[in-house]
């Protein structure tokens, strides 16, 4: 019995050191060596300041910026509280939020149907992308607010539209932060965040 207990304790210590310390350090080292940008969160900087991550969405409340899809992660895009809302389609709280968002968005483009990703959250609540249709829906507001032609704004959207990964995975998408940073560079009218 004593021999088995000693073996069990030693095995616990060895596996803890191997898989709880050495393996994570090895994987972290390999990630830093081969994929340093991704391992560090693909942070985007402007004028020496970090403005966000290419991988995690953020809220843009100014009318001069493209808006991200809604987030249910904590207070919104909280990486420490990543999750969907888990509310079912008949939940009154979800219905009220979606209706409120629809009522707020429809005056921007009254003759166009609101794209679903501007009304629904992603599974993680951290999605940094919107669909090209969601970006197109917002073009008139952005162009008017920034004093740009709609063609210039559409060209910025086109430049930041990524197609399906490997040609067949996922859907076309637009990274909102990158698009807004490009608009800041070309805009003739400064916009408060």
Distance CA(193)–CA(187), nearest Å, equals: 14
- In a domain, residue 191? The reply is no
Distance CA(133)–CA(116), nearest Å, equals: 9
Which domain range does residue 47 map to? 42-186
Report the candidate in 146, 145, 144, 120 with the shortest Cα–Cα distance to residue 131.
Answer: 120
The reply to whether 67 and 129 lie within a common domain is: yes
Q: How many domains does the chain have?
A: 2
| Cα radius of gyration rounded to whole Å, the chain | 22
The reply to whether 87 and 128 lie within a common domain is: yes
Q: pTM above the 0.75 mark?
A: yes
- In a domain, residue 193? The reply is no
- In a domain, residue 192? The reply is no
Burial class (CB in 10 A: 0-12, 13-18, 19+), 76: middle
The helix (run of H) or strand (run of E) holding residue 34 is helix 23-34
Does 110 or 23 have the greater pLDDT score?
A: 23
Report the candidate in 118, 59, 56, 123 with the shortest Cα–Cα distance to residue 85.
Answer: 123
The reply to whether 50 and 107 lie within a common domain is: yes
pLDDT at 165 over 90: no
Would you state the torsion angle of the CA atoms of residues 164, 116, 132, 171, taken in this order, to the nearest 10 degrees? 0
pLDDT for 70-119, tens place per residue?
888 776 777 777 777 788 889 998 899 899 999 999 998 888 999 999 99
The reply to whether 91 and 148 lie within a common domain is: yes
> What DSSP line would sit under 99-114, residue for residue?
HHHHHHHGGGSTTSPP
């Amino acid at each position: 019995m004593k021999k088995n207990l000693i073996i069990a304790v030693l095995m616990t210590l060895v596996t803890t050191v191997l898989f709880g310390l050495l393996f994570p350090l090895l994987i972290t080292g390999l990630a830093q060596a081969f994929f340093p940008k991704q391992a560090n969160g693909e942070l985007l900087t402007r004028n020496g300041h970090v403005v966000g991550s290419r991988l995690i969405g953020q809220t843009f409340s100014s009318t001069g910026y493209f808006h991200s899809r809604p987030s249910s992660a904590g207070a919104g895009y909280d990486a420490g509280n990543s999750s969907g809302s888990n509310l079912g389609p008949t939940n009154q709280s979800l219905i009220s939020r979606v209706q409120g968002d629809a009522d707020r968005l429809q005056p921007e483009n009254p003759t166009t149907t609101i794209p679903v990703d501007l009304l629904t959250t992603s599974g993680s609540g951290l999605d940094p992308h919107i669909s090209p249709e969601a970006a197109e829906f917002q073009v008139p507001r952005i162009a008017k607010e920034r004093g740009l032609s709609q063609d210039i704004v559409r060209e910025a959207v086109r430049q930041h539209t990524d197609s399906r990964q490997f040609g067949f995975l996922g859907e076309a998408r637009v990274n909102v932060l990158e698009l807004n940073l490009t608009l800041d560079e070309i805009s003739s009218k400064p916009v408060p965040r």
